[in-house]
Structure 1
């Protein structure tokens, strides 16, 4: 192992640390001995962590056996002998807690939705896949009969006949259509609301419609598009129709208890998966809702930080003056504090519809001939792109279909020619269906990719028969082509669209094994090291945080994920089985077994300490609005 340059690392690492103030200088600055105690600040102790192996992802020093941390930052990386040699004479301690473990850079959740995760994970989960939660494993639904039987049991377990039963996870492409009649057969008196797996559709029984006051006359009063995306007789509401019915059903779909338990469950789940930093793309644009989220996520004892990206679509749609859009965007910074923050100079736009609802905009028709949806009209999208581009923002764009990708790349090329920018790092988020030749265009235009590899695992089999056909379904999230083109790419889960589990995302990208056990698009597989970079340094790069997090290098935040084994060295099929011991977040150690802490939910709260009903309604209304535009 190469020797560490003592002068270089001491100069770079300790220059920013607080040192002992000389006595004469202290007296001169303070002017009195009574202030001398405040002027003398001891040098923080350096902690040297050792491990069986440290994967740094620093090309200059790929592996190490010791990492020194002070004031939440990395001071030194190298052999224990070299690190201790440099620290000789400095106050430090060697911590062998991780001696039998592997340290990797702290995992980064590049694109997740904590609020939506809280609402879905705290409902009756009846989904297409197993969900392994801190509270136990919820097995996948086998078929529609299994769904009906399990939902029936959930209804029967309710002691209050008026208590709404909310379920999440049903997928019509897997189990067939679900209607109001199906739910009425389970109960015509207990309100039942089924939130589809896509989060873009909801089916209600008659009791739920009646409780919310949603009648045929109400639906007849919707705007034309909202009516076209509603079916009152079937109790089905999707896309704009779902948004239109929100004011009637929001107050019965969320309860204070479910919101509170969901937020805490989401926190513990993400920590247990090794996450040390995350981002909410197209962040919350309702101050009371953000305040409620901050009550949990801004707490100083949180095991990870979270940033929120402005919802550029809503901001541009709200303010007709271009300059005002940026002014209002920048005002959002004061909504955050503690462990939450506004992602600086970044904004989120939306192209086409969701993959789970098969409403992507695709070049060739779907198998059944239906068409996708646009999440923003072209005129609004082009205006928003121009406003944020000219203001120097990094733009992240939700895009799923190849036709949607054409629209995004056209806008990017137009703005590059109109107002050239270097290192713009426009991020193509999700990247479900794309054409091979589009990869070269992405490279030529300097865009980068954040892909969701779970689409292949969860959907390729079914979408080969329903929706896309085998060729498009197997080529989804073509990271192999992107990698060979030299394009920076990262991985994300879009929780709850996939489990917020970076090791599982790595497994999906490396193996591309579908639900049936076959390999879909073997030429699109990537290496384990590339996948690890996708949940660490490349994820940091996509958020313009590569100088702060994502690798284990001197000067960066001391964010580590502690594993029982090396995910790059194990059998690729066992990557998802590697155990997470815990995390280190800016120098603080958080073992997983201590994850389930009591986090105080601050106001707005009711007298019993839970989030009050008004806040619950506002939260669900906003969450479904996020669903309508973001997933």
Structure 2
């Protein structure tokens, strides 16, 4: 039979083959008109979802009122009358529960970190921004006094014997926090404060005692770790935090805490309308991955999750170039059910982290400090070459304009050495860049996954400290990318930003800073482009545009159900739109608690397993340190 493409078939209109959906043709592949009629009669029943409006992001038909779903796939999109006509004699039911809702393509979390999110979400959140989590809303901390008062209330509200972990304190916003501050609150209950950047932790005296972190232990750390520890203040940062890891991991990253946090993270992401997620730089500790799988691989998960190999760690361990790809592909056996490994994609790292201002920049920082490289040039170039030659899509963490130059230099050298069509090299985060670099990105065929939250959270402060107002305001220059016709998507890097696609859209569309001003208005983007950034462009960046990202016949039936149309509301209201829930591969899942998601069971690792605890916390710290030398 002559192949009929999905778009060619849809484009012919209802007047030609009005009785069949593209799904019927694709599944039956009949050889005659008689066979076509027979295949329709035996097709499974369809469910037609009616909505106030369906925003498809499919250029063949951008707006509709009804979507027909057969099994886990989209069968037809159009008006109710058109869809019924297209189904012909195929049985169907009409579901009207979304009649006053807007249906958009299922949201995609292009770049998030489940383990780090789990450990932070299961803590006492006291951060620089509001966090709306299942069952509670945590308002942003106003100042240091507010932090200590709220932490003290949390410490008094539960069993004093149980350690208290808090996450979110930011010294650049509230000033330094020390052991003495925490001891003034309580000397009986162990208190661990994990800073917002996840690069620093402050312990009170009871926590130091419980962890057996004595002055003698700290004095025995290696030289750099010792310099990055202050026992008197109970502070451990950078290498000092990694040196303290074996002592604190059992409290911070036990299997029980991980499981609890993963369930919270699952429910949080579902409440935000996410139907597919991805972690670049996936877990390389099998027991920890098993713990994640115990929740995320369950058939009851409201979204699928993929893990992208951490190429830097693999390169560091494998000296033989010929064995790198083999070692990478061995990881595919680690996943199953609702988890999987990305196909021929890898994560590499260039320069330093945004929250610690260690990105590599072309013009000096205002205070004279220097950025850092996560990967030495020769190692980065080796890794890029090996994966490029194996036809991998390469995603690179890069935050500074000097870091971007190194990545683009390496990309261009490989393009000249071994040209590749549609390589889709992804520039991840894209914090500081130059207007002059945008043309080069376009010319080299790279794409961008940007984090628009950097502007909202950091532009005001970084305009005063480190970058200066011009560079700080121009961070994540999506407007320039648009004008250069460079494809881009949005991500949160959860928990570095709230894993909320509507909030990311709001950040990109408004570029409103913490003080309420607009930073670089020319870098704002339209609501339509922002919606594409958390749907079809996110799918494109993961090479999944033929499966997810738009409401198109033949794709997975992944839909996000909203109370309002984000393309029609005032741009300032985008983040306030309520998510009703999702349709995930044909399953209707309400997000307000009406759909009960199961506790997927306890991880199959003993609570007192020190190796698990250290591996879990090490992976979480590595995710937080992405692009930060450790």
Instruction: Normalising by structure 2, report the TM-score.
Output: 0.92
Q: Distance in 1 between matches of 2:427 and 2:250?
A: 35
Q: Distance in 2 between matches of 1:489 and 1:19?
A: 37
Aligned to 1:478: 477
Aligned to 1:89: 89
The answer to whether the Cα contact below 8 Å between 2:350 and 2:627 also exists between their aligned partners in 1 is no
- The within-5 A match list for 1:371-382 is 371-382=370-381
Q: CA deviation at 1:495?
A: 0.7
Higher mean alpha-carbon deviation, 400-409 vs 146-155, is at 146-155
The answer to whether the Cα contact below 8 Å between 1:507 and 1:572 also exists between their aligned partners in 2 is yes
Q: Distance in 1 between matches of 2:495 and 2:121?
A: 8
* Cα offsets for 1:214-273 (capped at 9, x unmatched): 344444444444344434443333333322321222112234543332111111110111
Q: CA deviation at 1:143?
A: 0.8
Secondary structure of the corresponding residue to residue 83 of structure 2: helix
Q: Distance in 1 between matches of 2:461 and 2:546?
A: 41
Q: CA deviation at 1:145?
A: 1.5
Aligned to 2:14: 4
Q: Distance in 1 between matches of 2:570 and 2:167?
A: 34
Aligned to 1:627: 624
Higher mean alpha-carbon deviation, 294-303 vs 241-250, is at 241-250
Distance verdict in 2 for CA 1:216–1:381, change over 3 Å: farther
Distance verdict in 2 for CA 1:80–1:158, change over 3 Å: closer
Aligned to 1:245: 244
Secondary structure of the corresponding residue to residue 386 of structure 2: helix
Q: Distance in 2 between matches of 1:89 and 1:252?
A: 61
Aligned to 2:103: 103
Aligned to 1:295: 294
Q: CA deviation at 1:149?
A: 1.9
Secondary structure of the corresponding residue to residue 58 of structure 2: coil
Instruction: Name stretches of at least 5 consecutive residues in structure 1 with no aligned partner.
Output: 21-40
Q: Distance in 1 between matches of 2:272 and 2:323?
A: 40
Distance verdict in 2 for CA 1:620–1:8, change over 3 Å: farther
Q: CA deviation at 1:603?
A: 3.9
Aligned to 1:44: 44
Q: CA deviation at 1:435?
A: 1.1
Q: CA deviation at 1:473?
A: 1.2
Higher mean alpha-carbon deviation, 292-301 vs 69-78, is at 69-78
Matched, 1:571 2:570: yes
Matched, 1:13 2:23: yes
Q: CA deviation at 1:166?
A: 1.1
Aligned to 1:400: 399
Secondary structure of the corresponding residue to residue 270 of structure 1: helix
Q: Distance in 2 between matches of 1:463 and 1:595?
A: 42
Distance verdict in 2 for CA 1:435–1:19, change over 3 Å: closer
Secondary structure of the corresponding residue to residue 428 of structure 1: strand
The answer to whether the Cα contact below 8 Å between 2:301 and 2:597 also exists between their aligned partners in 1 is no
* Cα offsets for 1:49-72 (capped at 9, x unmatched): 221111111112111112211121
Aligned to 1:598: 598
Aligned to 1:142: 142
Distance verdict in 2 for CA 1:323–1:369, change over 3 Å: same
Q: Distance in 2 between matches of 1:94 and 1:485?
A: 44
Instruction: Name stretches of at least 5 consecutive residues in structure 2 with no aligned partner.
Output: 1-10, 31-40
* Cα offsets for 1:531-567 (capped at 9, x unmatched): 0000000000000000111011111111111111110
- The within-5 A match list for 1:444-455 is 444-455=443-454
Higher mean alpha-carbon deviation, 236-245 vs 487-496, is at 236-245
- The within-5 A match list for 1:66-215 is 66-161=66-161, 163-215=162-214
Q: CA deviation at 1:46?
A: 1.4
Aligned to 1:36: none
Q: Distance in 1 between matches of 2:356 and 2:443?
A: 31
Q: CA deviation at 1:18?
A: 6.9
The answer to whether the Cα contact below 8 Å between 2:64 and 2:77 also exists between their aligned partners in 1 is yes
Distance verdict in 2 for CA 1:382–1:90, change over 3 Å: same
Q: Distance in 2 between matches of 1:517 and 1:356?
A: 20
Higher mean alpha-carbon deviation, 2-11 vs 227-236, is at 2-11
Distance verdict in 2 for CA 1:145–1:415, change over 3 Å: same
Aligned to 2:343: 344
Secondary structure of the corresponding residue to residue 395 of structure 2: strand
Aligned to 1:236: 235
Give the aligned CA root-mean-square deviation in angstroms. 2.3
Q: CA deviation at 1:5?
A: 5.6
Aligned to 1:35: none
Secondary structure of the corresponding residue to residue 429 of structure 1: strand
Q: Distance in 2 between matches of 1:116 and 1:49?
A: 36
Aligned to 1:426: 425
Secondary structure of the corresponding residue to residue 424 of structure 2: coil
Higher mean alpha-carbon deviation, 456-465 vs 501-510, is at 456-465
Distance verdict in 2 for CA 1:616–1:42, change over 3 Å: farther
Q: Distance in 2 between matches of 1:357 and 1:258?
A: 27
* Cα offsets for 1:570-599 (capped at 9, x unmatched): 111111111111101111111113355222
Q: Distance in 2 between matches of 1:15 and 1:548?
A: 17
Aligned to 1:456: 455
Secondary structure of the corresponding residue to residue 625 of structure 2: helix
Q: Distance in 1 between matches of 2:538 and 2:306?
A: 13
The answer to whether the Cα contact below 8 Å between 1:126 and 1:141 also exists between their aligned partners in 2 is yes
Distance verdict in 2 for CA 1:218–1:423, change over 3 Å: farther
Q: CA deviation at 1:192?
A: 2.1
Matched, 1:545 2:544: yes
The answer to whether the Cα contact below 8 Å between 1:312 and 1:384 also exists between their aligned partners in 2 is yes
The answer to whether the Cα contact below 8 Å between 1:282 and 1:630 also exists between their aligned partners in 2 is no
The answer to whether the Cα contact below 8 Å between 1:19 and 1:42 also exists between their aligned partners in 2 is no
Q: CA deviation at 1:11?
A: 7.2
Secondary structure of the corresponding residue to residue 184 of structure 2: helix
Q: Distance in 2 between matches of 1:602 and 1:19?
A: 45
* Cα offsets for 1:309-367 (capped at 9, x unmatched): 00111111111111222111101111111111001101111112221122222222222
The answer to whether the Cα contact below 8 Å between 2:557 and 2:585 also exists between their aligned partners in 1 is yes
Secondary structure of the corresponding residue to residue 287 of structure 2: helix
Secondary structure of the corresponding residue to residue 202 of structure 2: strand
Aligned to 2:260: 261
Distance verdict in 2 for CA 1:323–1:566, change over 3 Å: same
Distance verdict in 2 for CA 1:214–1:378, change over 3 Å: farther
Q: Distance in 2 between matches of 1:527 and 1:470?
A: 24
Q: Distance in 2 between matches of 1:309 and 1:9?
A: 42
